[in-house]
Amino acid sequence: MILERDVPRAQDLIRRNGYDFACLKDASKLAEYVPINRELQFYRSDGTRLELHWRFALQLACVKHDPERFLQRFEMISLAGAQVTSLPLEVYLLILSMHGTKHKWRQLKLICDIAEILGQPDLDWRYVLREAHDLGLKRMLAVGILLAEDPLEVVIPAELAQGLKIDRTARVLAAQIRRSLFEEPDKNWHAQADYRFQFKIRERLRDRASMLYRDLPSKLVPEERDRQFLPMPEFLSSMYYLIRPFRLAWERMTEPKF
């Protein structure tokens, strides 16, 4: 995990040590790739893979000051006999909540990570609550905690549960995810969660507005469902730009309410 401005230097160092791009064709595309993505994958001839990240959350999630906000606290841990810099568990709890949300908690291992942290003693829950409140991640955090509570039977620390004030929407989303855990395994668990889920899991109006604004261009382009909603001759296809907002509004009004 590095800052975005350091991506050119970092990828150059990685490539000089025997790695090559996994998806990007060449370094000349880097300038246009980095602003709209969050990671860059590399591979080596012996099969080793490496991922370079410069954001923890999806851009669509509109989490401000990512990753700088999360890189303000560090601690030293022992790893393979060496002392290395790591993030505290309190920071990891927030990051893993965002990561689980991105994947819609499609695998139990994503929930196990949250459960392990919640079981650790003497964590700074005030810091977690303050950061979650400032960044608009309280509902996201609440969903992860509810999933760890059931089916993993984790006891939520009282201070954390009281500070989050878990709302009905968080409980409904957690129940939906919980049911899907016992369905046929999803081979595409790594794929990005659908937009509606990511939208509902944000509790602040301004975060939802930012997500709508960022996603607006793609929302305006007609698709097959618009043509099915109101079939028209090909020479009137430009009218679907006007039909699409009505179709989306109709789906919104007729979808099941929480």
Q: What is the DSSP string of 189-250?
A: TTSPPPHHHHHHT---HHHHHHHHHHHHHHHHS--HHHHHHS---GGGGGGHHHHHHHHHHH
Q: What is the pLDDT of residue 25?
A: 82
Task: Give the span between the Cα atoms of 132 and 140, in whole angstroms.
Answer: 9
Question: How confident is the model over 72-81, as pLDDT tens digits?
Answer: 999 999 999 9
Total-model pTM:
0.80
Task: Give the span between the Cα atoms of 137 and 98, in whole angstroms.
Answer: 8
Q: Which run of H or E residues covers position 160? A: helix 158-164
Q: What is the pLDDT of residue 257?
A: 56
> How are beta strands 49-53 and 39-43 bridged, if at all?
antiparallel
Q: What is the pLDDT of residue 256?
A: 63
79: helix, coil or strand?
strand
pLDDT < 50 stretches in the chain: 258
Q: What is the pLDDT of residue 185?
A: 59
Residues 6+ apart with CB under 8 A from 79: 86
Q: What is the pLDDT of residue 115?
A: 95
Rounded to a whole number of angstroms, the CA Rg of the chain reads: 21
Provide the token pair at 208: 């939802």
Q: What is the pLDDT of residue 225?
A: 82
Task: Give the span between the Cα atoms of 105 and 190, in whole angstroms.
Answer: 9
Q: What is the pLDDT of residue 91?
A: 97
